[in-house]
Structure 1
Amino acid sequence: MATATNRAPQKELFGHPVGLYILFFTEMWERFSYYGMRAILVLYLVSATTGGNAGLGWTGGEAIALYGWYTMLVYVASIPGGIIADKLLGQKKTVLWGGIILVAGHGILAVEEMWAFYSGLALIIIGVGMLKPNISTMVGGLYKPGDIRRDKGFTIFYIGINLGAFLSSLIVGYVGENIGWHYGFGLAGIAMAFGLIVYLWGQKYLVNVGNLLSKVERSEGASLSNMFSELLKSPLQLAITSILMIGSIYVLIMVSVPFGLLYIFLTLVIALMLMVYKDLTTQVMKDRYVVMILSFLLVVVFWGAFEQAGGLMNIYAADKTDRTLSFSLPLIGNEVPATWFQSLNAMFIIIFGVIVANFWAKRKLKNKEASSIFKMATGVIIMGLGFLFMAIAAKEYTAFESKSAMYWLVLAYLLHTIGELCSSPVALSFITKLAPVKYASLMMGVYFAATGLGNKMAGLIGEFSQGEPATVQLSTEGSDVANRLQLNDTILQNKNDFTFNGFVYLDNNELAVTNMETEAPVMGLMDFENKDQKSEIIANLKEEGVTAQDPYHVMLNFRQEEDKVGYYGDFVIEEVQTQLEFRTFIGITIFTTVFGLIVIFMLKPLKRLTHGAEDNEREMLEQEQYEIADTERDKKNS
């Protein structure tokens, strides 16, 4: 995305244009609103529908699935957001409208109605898509080409992002968990309103930045319509695209509308990538393009694992982590809110960001391996190793008896953050070095699409980790139900949702469920909707040798359904669920480590394919006065 290049002298503050600080605070409040809502979204979805701070009562799998779709669409929306800025409004006005839409979206989320929930999410997706990519481009537009302050300006801007993310998880998280979920959503909207006010007030410092380009400038670059018309003239690319499109339409009609639409979108992206490759005129451009495709795969893998933070790890912090302290703190007492763990990533970035950057810079100056592809692969491995701590936490957890220590989560977030610092800041820069100039903006769009796909993969992985709970129907005839489940009669009479915890085991190869407190049998009160699910549970318990002497623990969340009579519950065996989560954590660790090592193993041929795209970085580092190692200094003196 381009920006105007004719700039009048700009007023400066601390050696940078004042406009940088306007964008700093705008983005800080935008990230405050986004990460604040992100911190409480999944917890709101899985919270019981009754009680003082009622949620929607969804299962963990359902909540994480929605979270995956939401975070994916936020990034994918950056593509039309960039097009709107380039072709219609300019970046400055697009950011303004994005902010207005975000305020509206968060405000609507504060309304306790389902139409408001989905409408609010949709508006936030649109608003972030319009604001996020364009405000970053405006930061670059504050500096002339070759201005050595540019990288430092982005560093300052990046601090604003993480400051907003850090504060939001603490403040919005506390309000959402302890006062009310919808108050948390509303607070996020107020924060975005602050950012919008700052942005409007600071327009006088952004006069020459982010304006709509001239018609001639807008006509430059790649034309999507022309590229897709060329597809009809390329038999091989057309055949590949047609096969993928037919499969996508089949999924759309026969399997799932959301996934069908996703596959259609991915098919169009693949077709686009094929046409770009065909249009490249030199072997150097084609070789670099191949490496760039691999970097997109690294992006998908990284975010597919990393974004467990807002879903699976968020639920784990709330339900299975011992968050009690040996001392008391103001407001929270001696229990750390689950959402506060979301702030660790931003805090660690602020602490370790410069340290990690200097580590790689010094390696580069010592002529040690520090290429972008190596950093990205290393980041994927380090981030993946963080899930080993989550696997240990899963092993430490015992259903209804002891929870895992919170330091496992802290250590996991620490490694995830170090991995992010190695990989994420490098990826976008690396793509700009490899992308053909003609298709630079288009490749930025593909980068956001890859990030979005990674977020969706995170949702699928998290959904898998929650399994598919069996559904049982509860008989509500007579007070015997309330007595045996140890419920107050008024719960059933008033049709309130409730949770029941019990023991589950096999008794003469038959499924038995008893009350955890009284050991009264309750299996006779329940019927499985799907008999195959019951058979699977029996087979699993038989394989594990579960008996009355050493039973498993079962949790049933009963609810009323509008179109059905009686209570329906999700039959979740805690030991089976924990084992599934353990396998998920280990699986992520193994896959990311192996994938990263394969990339590192292929490093030499991959670097050859870049044709020296990063060869001048060492000289640039020396110009920016990074400290040179003693051995290097001795060589220069000699």
Structure 2
Amino acid sequence: MAAEVTTTNPDFFKSKVLGHPSGLFVLFFTEMWERFSFYGMRVLLINFLTMAIIGNNPGWGWSAEQAGALYGTYAMLLYITPIFGGILADKYIGYRWAVVIGAFIMTLGHASMALEGESFMYIGLGLLVLGTGFFKPNMTSILSEMYKSFPEKKDGAFTIFYMGVNAGAFFGMMLCGYLAEKVGWHWGFGLAGIFMLLGTLQFWLSKPIFGNIGEVPSKEKKAAAAKLASESKSEDDRPNPFTTVDYILIAVSTIIGLLYAFNDPLSKIANINIFKMLTIGKVDGSIVAILIGLVVFLFVVISRLSRYSKVVRDRMIAVIVFAFFTIFFWMSFEQGATSLVLFARDNTQRILNGNSALIFNIVNTLLTVIPLLIISWVLILLARQTWNKTPWANIILGITFLGVWGTAIWMLNYDWTSHAYAVKYKAVETPVMDKETGKQKMDDKNQLVYSYTPVTETYVSNPTDKIVDREVILSSKTLYEVGQEIKVHPELDNFIILSAEKENKIRSDYQTHTKDSQIATAQITEIRDNQVEITVAWFSILNSFFIIAFASVISKIWDSRYNPPAAFKYGLGLIIMAIGFGLLAFGAYGIQEGVRVSMVWLIFAYLFHTLGELCLSPVGLSYVSKLVPARMIAFMFGMWYLAIAIGNKLAAVLGGQIENITNQYSLSTFFLIFTIVPIAAGLIVMSLHPALKKLMHGVK
């Protein structure tokens, strides 16, 4: 009990929820809303940027390569700005103010993205990067400070906090994605911003719960920390100050890295190449620049390592080795934000009819309602403990949950009450020829293969055209009668039924872009059982769901006698994740253009990606804290986040090549890249176990 006297708030543990201080659950919900907004926006971005510029829900019509370049720079900067945000909070503004400032800036970013216009999109992304820099590192800092006198409760606290992260990601991608795809992109971007704003308010109004925790560091506190550092007598803690040359070289490599990050989307979207003068023959100038920056950076790292004592140097080398293989993991895993979004949209069978639609609606209802009931119960427990201290924070939190429940009920009602119709339309039937043999292609049932082009209102007839009747099952919220004539529009190799308002809007867009209208006339032939079109964003929630489902199981394995060394956990993480891509490569093997693969392949891919993440992701940060002396932890965490930033950028750059690689080779070949490379990396890091064990000097 003596430990309670040392905490910054002696009464902190008197107000408990599920055995933990109520302040933990304030952080839980704050992080939940931030992750809701972050992942809600993230799951939309690539889809929005690459969606056709004319349609029911038009986007910007970018190529996957252009969209990947922009997203990659955004994702890269998200892991770099927190390095500076953590420093500012530590020295000047305190953790709590940093969280509030970051959340407010991110709210402005989401608001900007909800507005029409290209400039608002870029401003919004910039604000999100800046806000994340303040927010991301300081939530965990507050949590660490809360439990500094109660280390035995820290693991449990971080587990609960991590559940908040995944709950936010789960509902953000589900609800923002659904609203954006069914109503309009800016509704999805806007919903993310609304919950970010409300989450900020509830955190700020909960100030009385935290006491002095997260406040601006006092002069006395800074002096005590400095004294503690200066009193260290250990050879391993011997100071190794940065020299002037170090600072200059770090600045040079940083500038080159940032210029490359911005040059990538500029060169692919606006055809502006900052590094054009560095081009050597066929080697692009940006590649030359990044190689120069890499050489400079490696020189700094090697020169600094040489100045440490042997034990510290060896352990830091081990951390750098782990960081290097982390790049390969995130390079593949983060395909979930780019290429897998496009694969779900363009190549996965997302339309279900009859019993399949019924089963999906039941499963989706349970997936939505059960987690919401559990989290709402936690909200009620928190309100009971904190109502007297922070009534307005609880009111704001209650409003957010009313909003989530309302959106979720609207989503479920939309799917349960949609009507399905058999629709007949006219199409031009054309034989599909094999380029190699010059003969008409045959399918796996030895049937001749044809392509069908809808007869639109701008169609000009040709005497040789063979016009046939085609039937498709479409869903709509509107009630139609058998025999009724309707207007349809092709989108993503399917059709949508147009309301009068949508029809007028699309006609206007065709005129604006001086393109021939693709609107076609069709007829309702039969009223069918319910049909559901699964949103693209729905598949992205699987990662969060599987984390919540399997995290405790994996954690128990690591706590048992089967706990493998770090190198083997890394290798297993990479190989298990690669199996997921292998399944996608197998599922996509030999598919023809216009044919979609079963959603089962994507579900299993996300399962294996999540299991790989649970093997590898927690290990890295844990070993940074174990292997690095306390005075260098901040610097090495910065190095670690830099590795993740590079992995995210590479993921988006490679993910943006899905169209190019598919056109030149095949979709299966694209996924094989992310199967073979991580497996090779996993086998290499496992083979390095004896060397890494030696470098770690007894740390387990």
Tell me the TM-score normalised to structure 1 length. 0.72
Is 1:604 aligned to 2:632, yes or no?
Answer: no
Q: 1:97 corresponds to which residue?
A: 101
* Among candidates 306, 322, 345, match of residue 349 of structure 2: 322
Q: 1:111 to 1:260 in 2, by over 3 A?
A: farther
C-alpha change, 1:205 and 1:428, in structure 2 (3 Å) is same
How do 1:250-289 and structure 2 match up within 5 A? 251=275, 253-254=277-278, 269-270=297-298, 272-281=300-309, 283-289=310-316
Residue 79 (structure 1) shift: 1.1
Instruction: Call closer, same or farther: CA 1:241–1:175 in 2, change over 3 Å.
Output: closer
| 2:574 is the alignment partner of 1:380 | yes
Once residues 172 and 232 of structure 1 are traced to their aligned partners in structure 2, the CA distance between those partners, rounded to angstroms, is: 43
Q: Is the 8 A contact 1:379 1:423 kept in 2?
A: yes
Which residue of 2 is the match for residue 392 of structure 1? 586
Instruction: Describe how 1:140-151 pairs up with structure 2 within 5 A.
Output: 140-145=144-149, 147-151=151-155
How many residues of Structure 1 are paired with residues of Structure 2 in the alignment? 492
Question: CA separation of 1:385/1:290 partners in 2, compared to 1, >3 Å: closer, same or farther?
Answer: same
Structure 1 counterpart of 2:182: 178
The equivalent position to 2:535 in structure 1, one of 326, 337, 347, is 337
**Within 1, Cα distance between the matches of 2:646 and 2:122?**
21
- The Cα RMSD (Å) is 3.0
1:430 corresponds to which residue? 623
**CA 1:230–1:63: 2 relative to 1, 3 Å:** closer
Q: Is the 8 A contact 2:81 2:133 kept in 1?
A: yes
Aligned CA distance change for structure 1 residues 24 and 262 (closer, same or farther; 3 Å): farther
Alignment partners' CA distance in 2, 1:263 and 1:143: 43
Indicate yes or no: 2:672 matched with 1:586.
Answer: yes
CA contact 1:228–1:272 (8 Å) conserved in 2:
no
Does the 8 Å contact 1:253/1:260 carry over to 2?
no
- Separation in 1, partners of 2:27, 2:47: 31
Q: Any conservation in 1 of the 2:9–2:213 contact (CA below 8 Å)? A: no
Q: For the structure 1 residues 232 and 323, does the alpha-carbon distance in structure 2 shift closer, same or farther, using more than 3 Å as the test?
A: closer
Alpha-carbon distance, 1:223 to partner: 14
1:261/1:436 CA distance change after superposition, 3 Å: farther
Kindly provide the amino acid, as one letter, of the partner of residue 25 in structure 2: Y
Which residues of structure 2 form unaligned runs of 5+? 1-5, 230-236, 264-273, 362-412, 416-530
State the SS of the aligned residue for 2:539. helix
Would the alpha carbon gap of residues 372 and 180 (structure 1) be closer, same or farther in structure 2, given more than 3 Å must change?
A: same
Contact kept, 8 Å, 2:106 with 2:131, in 1: the verdict is: yes
Which residue matches 1:124? 128
Q: Which residues of 2 match residues 480-495 of structure 1 at below 5 A?
A: none
Alpha-carbon separation, structure 2, partners of 1:55 and 1:262: 32
What percent identity do the matched residue pairs reach? 35
Residues 230-309 of structure 1 aligned to structure 2 (within 5 Å): 231=246, 251=275, 253-254=277-278, 269-270=297-298, 272-281=300-309, 283-309=310-336
Tell me, yes or no, if the aligned pair for 1:252 and 1:261 is still in contact at 8 Å: no
Q: Write out per-residue CA displacement over residues 382-415 of structure 1, whole angstroms, 9 at most, x where no aligned residue.
A: 1112101111232153212x21111100000000
What is the match of residue 558 of structure 1? none
Cα distance in 2 between the residues matched to 1:165 and 1:227: 39
Q: Deviations over 1:612-638 (max 9, x none)?
A: 112xxxxxxxxxxxxxxxxxxxxxxxx
Distance 1:307 1:409, change over 3 A: same
Alignment of 1:59-70 (within 5 A): 59-70=63-74
Shift of 1:372: 2.5
State the match for 1:408 in structure 2: 601
Q: What amino acid does structure 2 have at the position aligned with 1:331?
A: Y
Judge which range, 114-123 or 390-399, deviates more: 390-399
Match of 1:78 among 77, 82, 86: 82
The equivalent of 1:479 in structure 2 is none
Task: Output the amino acid matched with 2:133.
Answer: G
Shift of 1:104: 0.4
- In structure 2, do the counterparts of structure 1 residues 358 and 50 end up closer, same or farther at CA, with 3 Å as the change threshold? same
What is the CA distance between 1:241 and its match in structure 2? 7.8
- The whole-number CA distance in structure 2 between the counterparts of 1:146 and 1:611 is 28
- Closer/same/farther in 2, CA of residues 217 and 320 from structure 1, 3 Å limit: farther
Q: Structure 1 residues 314 and 99 mapped into 2: Cα distance closer, same or farther (>3 Å)?
A: same
Cα distance, 1:465 vs. partner?
2.8
1:79–1:263 Cα change, 3 Å: farther
Offset, 1:184? 0.5
> Which position in structure 1 is the counterpart of 2:15?
12
Q: 1:180 to 1:216 in 2, by over 3 A?
A: same
Amino acid at match of 2:679: T
Change (3 A) 1:41 1:286: same
**Amino acid of the structure 2 residue aligned with 1:422:** C
Contact 2:315–2:627 (CA<8 Å) still a contact in 1? yes
**Structure 1 unmatched runs, 5+:** 469-574, 615-638
Is structure 2 residue 29 aligned with structure 1 residue 25?
A: yes
Report the counterpart of residue 503 of structure 1 in structure 2.
none
Output the CA distance in 2 between the equivalents of 1:23 and 1:223: 37
Question: Bigger shift: 336-345 or 7-16?
Answer: 7-16
